[in-house]
Amino acid sequence: GSADLDCDLLVLGAGPGGYSAAFRAADLGLKVVLVERYATLGGVCLNVGCIPSKALLHVAAVMDEVKHFASLGVSFAEPTVDINKLRTHKEKVVGKLTGGLAAMAKMRKVTTVRGIGQFVGANHLQVDETAGAQGQEKTGKSQTIAFKTCIIAAGSQAVRLPFMPDDPRVVDSTGALALKEVPKRMLILGGGIIGLEMGTVYSTLGARLDVVEMMDGLMQGADRDLVKIWQKMNAPRFDNIMLKTKTVGAKATKAGIEVTFAAAEEGGTAPAPQTYDLVLQAVGRTPNGKKLGAEKAGVSVSDRGFIPVDIQMRTNVPHIFAIGDIVGQPMLAHKAVHEAHVAAEVIAGELQGNKELASAAFNARVIPSVAYTDPEVAWVGLTEDQAKAQGIKVKKGLFPWNASGRAIANGRDEGVTKLLFDDSPEAHGHGKILGGGMVGTHAGDMIGEIALAIEMGADAVDIGKTIHPHPTLGESIGMAAEVAHGSCTDLP
Ligand code: FAD
């Protein structure tokens, strides 16, 4: 059919998956069009996710750190917060990064098209032009783009509970990041990473927190011993931590949002209803797969809106690929970026007859997770709780940071580093590392080393004999390996 624009590769969605795929493909010589409904590139992660949340968490961490300085003999005045300035700072951080992406797209001659994309065939996408930061409005203009190949990187969005009233005091993470004002009482619906990160920011700024979670613990996925340390440090932020509890109703009243709860399990007791100034819905994210007209291109979408792909990120339609949040868990930016590179390389390889590129595949052994709370909780690969549940025999090396010179010097020795090694009979006492977790300041910055060790198939001796600089928090990884290997020195 006729098209207004044509290309080798059309990328739908400009989040970490989409822009990474577009840039890699352009670097490999393809003519690339990148379609995005937002005003800026960067998707959820840069605009309303990873980056703005970390800008605010950094400020919160410094404010909290300063409080504890009094016990070290250095006192500061109570901080005063200019919320408008803080919001502007966050917006500047985001603007710097999204502006940088726009420049990089231009440099690589990636054509960006603004609007909502919908498939109208297996080789055509219609784009309805949008306006507004998040593409809320349509301008009425539209165009059709013809593509040889396509990568769907349309991401996910926050789940909304159907009974939540439409009220400015009920927000999702995007609304919370808008940082309009600091509530007195805030309910976090869902005790996962996103909710707890935003809760940390608001509580440091002065809000009292409640959290409600269906499961029997916060921060699911992380080992309970690590979460326990985070929880002990963070208990003062919360009035109520409601576990094994469902939210079943909510009503907007003059006094606030009145929320009712029920026990998640039969026989459990339900907490009394409570009224909040702000309710943050952080009960998970749902993929955007059902909103793309994918059926017009013949692309299969699951009931839940995920797009199934193979290890080359290919959908059931051979020239259409999908990456990032829309293909499944874990919904993390670094996963999206690696999948993006695979899809772009396979496509370039196939279009250009380059067999090596065309054989690219996503075969990461592990994908790390980080909660950027205070302290941070980070984990990668097998967890101890999983090992127990699956009956996998592991040798554990646990290094408590109260034996780390640097952690003590920092006044933050509550942390722990834990490594797990294969202890099956076949390993003959030299088992490879299967997983690791850390709780403590900067844990997220250090977990990459454990991921590398797993990818390289390192054992406890490899890690323990690797000389880590002293005194650093990262040393705790070498120490934990030595503990597992049974040759722990007592370097302070
Ligand atoms: P997205 O980033 O969701 O991008 C998809 C893009 O597609 C969007 O820009 C959307 O506007 C566009 N789009 C969708 N449909 C259409 C259409 N039909 N037409 C045109 N454009 C369309 N992950 C981490 O790894 N670390 C973190 O610290 C972290 N923090 C987070 C904090 C918050 C508050 C949230 C909400 C998420 C966080 N995440 C974090 C998750 C991370 O943001 C996602 O995993 C990541 O953005 C997924 O990238 P993606 O490319 O798959 O999709």
Which tens digits make up the pLDDT trace of 448-462? 999 999 999 999 999
Which candidate, 217, 238, 239, 237, places its Cα nearest to that of 228? 217
Residue 181 pLDDT > 50, yes or no? yes
Instruction: Please report, to the nearest 10 degrees, the dihedral formed by the alpha carbons of residues 284, 203, 86, 444 taken in order.
Output: -60
285 near 175, Cβ under 8 Å? no
- Rounded Cα gap, residues 105 and 32, in angstroms: 10
Confidence grade of residue 483 (pLDDT, cut at 50, 70, 90):
very high
Pick the atom of ligand 1 nearest to 334's CA: 25
Residue 328 pLDDT > 60, yes or no? yes
Give residue 304's identity as a one-letter amino acid code.
R
* Mean pLDDT (whole number) for 321-327: 98
Instruction: Give the number of C-alpha atoms closer than 13 A to the C-alpha of residue 473, restricted to the C-beta side.
Output: 23
Tokens 């979670």 found at: 213
Ligand 1 center to 385 CA (angstroms): 29
* pLDDT value for 487: 64
Ligand 1 center to 331 CA (angstroms): 8
Residue 492 pLDDT > 50, yes or no? no
Helix residue ranges per DSSP H, 136-223: 173-177, 193-204
Ligand 1 center to 381 CA (angstroms): 23
Can you read off the two tokens belonging to residue 137?
A: 């409005």
450 near 419, Cβ under 8 Å? yes
- Rounded Cα gap, residues 233 and 218, in angstroms: 14
Confidence grade of residue 1 (pLDDT, cut at 50, 70, 90):
low
> Mutation test of ligand 1: which of 38, 45, 57, 306 has the most ligand atoms closer than 8 Å to its C-beta?
45
Pick the atom of ligand 1 nearest to 333's CA: 25
Ligand 1 center to 9 CA (angstroms): 20
Binding residues for NAD(+): 190-197, 213, 284
Buried b (16+ CB within 10 A) or exposed e, 147-179: bbbbbbbbbbbbeebeebeeeebbbbbebbbeb
Vertex 472: Cα angle to 471 and 476 (nearest 5): 110
200 near 374, Cβ under 8 Å? yes
Which tens digits make up the pLDDT trace of 63-114? 999 988 888 899 999 999 999 999 999 999 999 999 999 999 999 999 999 9
Confidence grade of residue 429 (pLDDT, cut at 50, 70, 90):
confident
Instruction: Please count the other Cβ atoms lying within 10 Å of the Cβ belonging to residue 428.
Output: 7
Can you read off the two tokens belonging to residue 94?
A: 């985001």
Contact residues of ligand 1, CB 6 A cut-off: 12-18, 35-38, 43-45, 49-50, 53, 116-117, 153-156, 173, 194, 288, 291-292, 324-326, 331-334, 336, 372
315 near 152, Cβ under 8 Å? yes
- Rounded Cα gap, residues 85 and 171, in angstroms: 21
476 near 402, Cβ under 8 Å? no
Tokens 């901080």 found at: 79
Q: At 429, is the secondary structure helix, strand, or coil? A: coil
Which candidate, 1, 51, 19, 2, places its Cα nearest to that of 343? 19
> Mutation test of ligand 1: which of 11, 34, 44, 334 has the most ligand atoms closer than 8 Å to its C-beta?
44
Binding residues for FAD: 54, 117, 325, 331-334
Residue 32 pLDDT > 90, yes or no? yes
Give residue 87's identity as a one-letter amino acid code.
R
Instruction: Please count the other Cβ atoms lying within 10 Å of the Cβ belonging to residue 451.
Output: 21
Residue 489 pLDDT > 70, yes or no? no
Pick the atom of ligand 1 nearest to 340's CA: 51
Tokens 């199934």 found at: 308
Cα-Cα end-to-end distance for the chain: 71
414 near 375, Cβ under 8 Å? yes
Tell me the ipTM for this assembly.
0.99
Binding residues: 54, 117, 190-197, 213, 284, 325, 331-334
115 near 126, Cβ under 8 Å? no
* pLDDT value for 72: 85
**Whole-number CA gyration radius for the chain:** 24
How many angstroms from the chain centroid is the CA of residue 244?
24
- Among 319, 338, 428, 470, the one annotated catalytic: 470
Q: At 370, is the secondary structure helix, strand, or coil? A: strand
* pLDDT value for 71: 85
Pick the atom of ligand 1 nearest to 285's CA: 36
Give yes or no: 485 in active site: no
Ligand 1 center to 28 CA (angstroms): 24
Instruction: Please count the other Cβ atoms lying within 10 Å of the Cβ belonging to residue 211.
Output: 25
Residue 150 pLDDT > 70, yes or no? yes
Residue 3 pLDDT > 70, yes or no? yes
Interhelix angle 83-107/50-68, rounded to 10 degrees, is 140
Which tens digits make up the pLDDT trace of 389-427? 999 999 999 999 999 999 999 999 999 999 999 999 999
Q: Cα-flanking dihedrals φ and ψ of residue 225, to 5°?
A: -65, -35
- DSSP type of residue 391: T
Tokens 């800008």 found at: 55
